[in-house]
Chain A
Amino acid sequence: MSKCEQDMPTEQKVKFYQTGTFTVGNRLLDEEFRTVQATQERSNSIDSGHRACQGCGQALGARYALDAAMRATDNHIIAANATGCLEVFTTPYPETAWSIPWIHSLFGNAAAVVSGIAARLKAEGDTQTRVVAQGGDGGTTDIGLGCLSGMFDRNDDVLYICYDNGGYMNTGVQRSSATPGGARTATTMPVGEHPGSSFNTGKFLPSIAMAHEIPYVATASVHDLHDLERKVEKAMSFRGSRYIHINVPCPLGWGSEPALTIKLARMGVECGLVPLFEAESGELTASTKIRYQIPVEDYLKLQRRFSHVLKPANSDELEAIRALAQKNIRRFNLR
């Protein structure tokens, strides 16, 4: 059974939604089963006039996630934001692009700030209003990990969303602990014996979140909106800490064409480097299968940050990236 079939209610199954099943909308689908983004009434949590680069994956991922959370809560969402691109491009004085109550405090404290908001709601007995924290990969996997781990430990009623673009893009593309091995950044240049970012043992935050045994952990990608929205809505059906890790291509940091943002997100998933899965209380419960598997090279060659990896002299790096894709496919049961 294909993925779309699983997601469709029984009476909508099999025969009737071939035309653009994976598109944002589908005129043949019942309204209630279309994505939030397909609706004219969507909340546009981040609205026009923001200053994200052309083709910003994060601007898209954030609107997708927040709008889905808004629908799931009947528009009762408060969001906190770590310092980073998303914060900078949405709220330069005197203009904010957010249409929801939103706070930015610091780089490393979004999880704690949002826990504070949740604590106030708890003290008030307000069970309707829900909170979402957002950070980039640096703000989440590096500087913000302490606060985030604390939030997981307390099982505060928070959805934390990490928009992973694989580096500190706002400060000019430096390496974070989420930068993929081999990738060029301003602090891991393609020079020396092992060009690009080191292949460390890894700091894959979804696994770290799972180790906290919080109610729900999921990974998502901006190329598959149905999958992403379903995960956000599912996350909102739980109480306690929830974590969603969204892969968001960054044309600036990746050296890719702005128009290819969604294509790259898709290719990342289809080559196995970006596994999409869900876990509940620490246990893997579902994987989104790869639809058309592609070689990692097809994905890498569209990004200048990997251009050196494709040179014959750096075949070790390419081999290591291939191996990671294979490991993901095995480990997360992606086929």
Chain B
Amino acid sequence: MLHQISGSIAVAKAIALCRPQVIPCYPITPQTHIVEHLSTLVKSGQLQNCAYENVDSEFSSMSFCIGASAAGARTYTATASQGLLYMMEAVYNASGLALPIVMTLGNRSIGAPINIWNDHSDAMSARDAGWIQLFVESNQQAVDVHIQAFKLAEALSLPVMVNMDGFILTHAITRVDMPDQQQVDEFLPPFVPRQQLDTAAPLSIGAMVGPDAFTEVRYLAHHKQKEALSIIEQQAEEFAEIFGRDSGGLVKSYDAEEAELVIVTMGSVVGTLQELVAELRAQGQSVGILSLRSFRPFPALAICRLLQNAKQLIVFEKSFAVGMGGILASEVHMAVQSHKLQIHSVIGGLGGRTISKKSLHRMIEQAFNGTLAAEVFLDLDEATVEAELQRQQDDQTSGPAAENILRDMGVVSASKTH
């Protein structure tokens, strides 16, 4: 049934359709609307047999999930940014204990400087946490992928993190085809835990493992993620059969197979790129998009298969590893190293900076005319950077760079003179 609805409310409704039993939450922008709506659904009785708990921190929240999941509950929570960092110890623990928790990450930057807007820094901080990490391009996908996430988590006994861009998706009101309960029930059977704290069949969960078996435990976790590669694809097909939509899967190609220039990226920016690429292809340019819907497990083979004809890649991402460069770029690089491709790493949209169609267009043009550098920061204000670098050279004690830049821009008054 079609709804004109915000991304957060749509996700909350989708979660409710999945019949979760325990939802602990702690508020953080931009995830708040999801948990607010879920709390109302539980409190009003619309979502039954579910405990919604306002906990004291994200660390508590994920810990709460761990207990609930180990006790056999279908468990959900949502967070973002600093919240993810604050719960990080428990994030690693949840995957280590192989607990099928589903968590929405309303992707947001990480401070300092504190910033509430969208990028993928938070997701990247958890890339080695052992979770399955899925990215969605739209709110329709957000709804669909969350439904698949539970099934995937429970099939593998692994936690799944669904990444949706903060504000851009969470706060956007768009048309969403909401599934009905019957469809969801058909797709998602009741949770049967692989391990459960049960007085009838006691076991100890969370043993200490020494050097004698730790490598094997880690290897098995890696193996399980590799198994997920085929299960994700299978479940996307099952989903399509029941719901009549292509949603999820490992990767999504937008004319990437035939294109000479392929833009590899994740998340909502695919929407902007799709529009631009359609226009450019209409003008005869050989350009396509490869959207990663699964970041963990990393679908290296699927990427390679789609880049058979590509000559140039632009890896466009909303995060980077300071001191190294594009994270997705380096992973894609590793995946396609046998392809002899020219690869550009473009970083954009950090801390919520608008990614304009115009800038993207210029990036593509530069790639075609051979002027796109190997590492590019889209729309970087070079004058400001230069000025700050110059100041730092002049005065080793020039103060925090962020404040200086804002002062230069006239945002704060210059109370300090040099």
B321 beta carbon closer than 8 Å to chain A: no
Interface string of B50-86 (1 = CB under 8 A from A): 1101111101110111111111110100000000000
Interface string of B185-210 (1 = CB under 8 A from A): 00000000000011101111111111
Residues of A within 8 A of B236 (CB): none
Instruction: Give the residue of B21, B201, B207 whose beta carbon is less than 8 angstroms from that of A120.
Output: B21
A108 vs B60: C-alpha distance in the bound complex, in angstroms? 9
B112 beta carbon closer than 8 Å to chain A: no
A91 vs B208: C-alpha distance in the bound complex, in angstroms? 6
A78 near B205: Cβ-Cβ < 8 Å: no
Residues of A within 8 A of B49 (CB): 123-125
A124 vs B67: C-alpha distance in the bound complex, in angstroms? 14
Q: How far in angstroms is the closest Cβ of chain A from B295? A: 25
A117 beta carbon closer than 8 Å to chain B: yes
Chain B, interface size category, equals 35 or more
A75-B199, A92-B208, A116-B71 given; A146·B66 CB < 8 A = no
B199 near A109: Cβ-Cβ < 8 Å: no
A93-B213, A115-B53 given; A98·B204 CB < 8 A = yes
A103-B197, A123-B50 given; A116·B63 CB < 8 A = yes
Q: How far in angstroms is the closest Cβ of chain B from A44? A: 12
Residues of B within 8 A of A125 (CB): 49
Closest to A76 in B: B199
Q: How far in angstroms is the closest Cβ of chain B from A121? A: 7
Q: How far in angstroms is the closest Cβ of chain A from B74? A: 9
Count of interface residues, chain A, beta-carbon cutoff 8 Å: 47
B206 near A103: Cβ-Cβ < 8 Å: yes
A108 vs B204: C-alpha distance in the bound complex, in angstroms? 19
B63 near A109: Cβ-Cβ < 8 Å: yes
A88-B208, A104-B205, A149-B56 given; A122·B63 CB < 8 A = no
Residues of A within 8 A of B21 (CB): 120, 123-124
Which residues of chain B from 26 to 70 have a CB within 8 Å of any chain A CB? 49-51, 53-57, 59-61, 63-70
A92 vs B211: C-alpha distance in the bound complex, in angstroms? 11
Residues of B within 8 A of A101 (CB): 197-199, 201-204
Residues of B within 8 A of A118 (CB): 67
Residues of B within 8 A of A112 (CB): 24, 55, 59-61, 63-64, 66-67
B280 beta carbon closer than 8 Å to chain A: no
B97 beta carbon closer than 8 Å to chain A: yes
Closest to B61 in A: A112
Instruction: Give the residue of A92, A103, A120, A150 whose beta carbon is less than 8 angstroms from that of B51.
Output: A120
A240 vs B205: C-alpha distance in the bound complex, in angstroms? 25
B51 near A109: Cβ-Cβ < 8 Å: no
A146 near B70: Cβ-Cβ < 8 Å: no
Residues of A within 8 A of B24 (CB): 112, 115-116, 119
B233 beta carbon closer than 8 Å to chain A: no
Instruction: Give the residue of A93, A100, A108, A119 whose beta carbon is less than 8 angstroms from that of B202.
Output: A100
Instruction: Give the residue of B51, B65, B198 whose beta carbon is less than 8 angstroms from that of A123.
Output: B51
Q: How far in angstroms is the closest Cβ of chain A from B192? A: 14
Residues of A within 8 A of B60 (CB): 109, 111-112, 115, 146-147, 150
A77 beta carbon closer than 8 Å to chain B: yes
A12 vs B50: C-alpha distance in the bound complex, in angstroms? 48
Q: How far in angstroms is the closest Cβ of chain B from A54? A: 20
A103-B205, A119-B73, A129-B199 given; A113·B213 CB < 8 A = no
Instruction: Give the residue of A96, A105, A106, A115 whose beta carbon is less than 8 angstroms from that of B204.
Output: A96
A173 beta carbon closer than 8 Å to chain B: no
Residues of A within 8 A of B207 (CB): 91-94, 96, 104
Residues of B within 8 A of A114 (CB): 67
B89 beta carbon closer than 8 Å to chain A: yes
A100-B199, A103-B205, A116-B69 given; A92·B210 CB < 8 A = yes
Q: How far in angstroms is the closest Cβ of chain B from A74? A: 10
Instruction: Give the residue of B59, B68, B89, B210 whose beta carbon is less than 8 angstroms from that of A93.
Output: B210
Residues of A within 8 A of B51 (CB): 119-120, 122-123
A291 beta carbon closer than 8 Å to chain B: no
Residues of B within 8 A of A (CB): 21-22, 24, 49-51, 53-57, 59-61, 63-73, 75, 89-90, 93, 97, 197-199, 201-210, 212-213
> Could you list 16 examples of A-B contacts with CB < 8 Å?
A75-B199, A93-B213, A99-B202, A100-B199, A100-B202, A101-B201, A103-B204, A103-B206, A108-B89, A109-B90, A117-B71, A119-B67, A120-B67, A120-B75, A123-B22, A154-B53
Residues of A within 8 A of B (CB): 75-78, 80-81, 87-88, 90-94, 96, 98-106, 108-109, 111-125, 129, 146-147, 149-150, 153-154
5 closest A-B pairs by beta carbon, nearest first, are: A116-B67, A150-B56, A112-B63, A109-B63, A104-B206
